[in-house]
Amino acid sequence: MVALESRSMNVTDRKETRVNIFNRLKAGLSKTRQGLVDKVEQIISRHKNIDEELYEEMEEALIQADVGVNTSLELIANLRQEVKKNKITEAEQLKDVLKQLISDVLDTGVPTLNLDGEGTSVIMVVGVNGVGKTTTIGKLASRFRQEGKKVLIAAADTFRAAAIDQLEVWGQRAGVEVIRHQEGSDPAAVVYDGMQAARSRKADILIVDTAGRLHTKVNLMEELKKVRRVIERDSPKAPHEVLLVLDATTGQNAISQAKLFSQAAGVTGLALTKLDGTARGGIVIAIASELNIPVKLIGIGEQVEDLRDFNPREFVDAIFD
């Protein structure tokens, strides 16, 4: 009897935890909802029937929410097809159709981080300065440590002493060792030492920070290629993940950054930060549609637990429901 009660309590606790997490996600995405879904609902409420004016207004709302022109046009074209195919006549039915179409767009690639089940998993983190790259690394390291993994960080953004110091603070907070050199050192040398340290300490995960000085674009991209070569020479299967951190508040600028870093570093996944601070969260949809690179992490707040694994269905539910 006691065992059954305990099991029932555990199930209840898990359900409450899931509800609390989902509520935090909804709260973090409230501005995105205001910028996209609320506008769609207002448009639908003004139109009893489906007509050309409604389609044009919905297309404009998507573009203003930074879904992007190409993706917005494609979504509306698909919406027209669904309306015709299913003989939909009432405007109020369009919200559910649009929700499903957006879910389909977001469901691209593998949304989970690629980790090596046998040796050290190497996660190379790239992105321009100011997007929240260092904080994302710190939160990720903290989360891995809470999962019981041994984590090292290689501070290869040697051009900014502040970045190294910030990683040290995160490392101390999470109980994670940071491999660092002096400011101005060769980033590739830091990465080499990080790889050696990870092997000797039998680390589960090595997170490699990199510089993000986009104003010296050519030099930066060559440096990223060099860092990747050092990783590959040491471990042919690595890096297992090249994570590009993007600031969601930059809107369409994020897409051009993603294209640039993909060419240089072979980006395998995206981490979108500051989604709680923007009404233009439609950029998530635009990125998934135009780049075909899976969004793997989203940042919806300042706490460690606010760096969330990206779940397309959960994301859409949080902004539509």
pLDDT in the model for residue 288: 86
Least confident segment among 42-46, 222-226, 280-284, 286-290: 280-284
Task: Give me the amino acid identity at 224.
Answer: L
Residue 223 CA to residue 210 CA, distance in Å, equals 9
Residue 277 CA to residue 249 CA, distance in Å, equals 7
pLDDT in the model for residue 9: 44
Sign of CA dihedral 251, 227, 164, 304: positive
**Per-residue confidence band for 193, with pLDDT thresholds at 50, 70 and 90:** very high
- Greatest mean pLDDT among 21-30, 85-94, 211-220 lies in 85-94
For 113-133, give the DSSP string. ----SSS-EEEEEE--TTSSH
Mean pLDDT of 20-31: 77
Widest distance between CA atoms in the chain: 68
Burial 135-151 (b: 16+ CB within 10 A, else e): bbbbbbbbbbbeeeebb
Mean pLDDT of 74-91: 93
CATH number of the structural domain 121-311: 3.40.50.300
Least confident segment among 41-55, 215-229, 297-311: 215-229
Report whether pLDDT(130) > 50: yes
pTM of full prediction above 0.95: no
Mean pLDDT of 228-245: 93
Q: What is the mean pLDDT of the chain?
A: 86
Give the start-to-end residue ranges of the domains of the chain.
Answer: 36-106, 121-311
Least confident segment among 16-30, 201-215, 230-244: 16-30
Residue 284 CA to residue 65 CA, distance in Å, equals 10
pLDDT tens by residue, 97-115: 999 999 999 887 777 898 8
> Nearest to residue 99, comparing CAs of 285, 300, 287?
285
Report whether pLDDT(89) > 90: no
**Per-residue confidence band for 12, with pLDDT thresholds at 50, 70 and 90:** low
CATH number of the structural domain 36-106: 1.20.120.140
| Spatial CB neighbours of 204, under 8 Å, sequence gap ≥ 6 | 120, 121, 144, 149, 150, 151
**Per-residue confidence band for 53, with pLDDT thresholds at 50, 70 and 90:** very high
Task: Identify the burial level of 233 via C-beta atoms within 10 angstroms of its C-beta, where 0-12 means exposed, 13-18 middle and 19 or more buried.
Answer: exposed
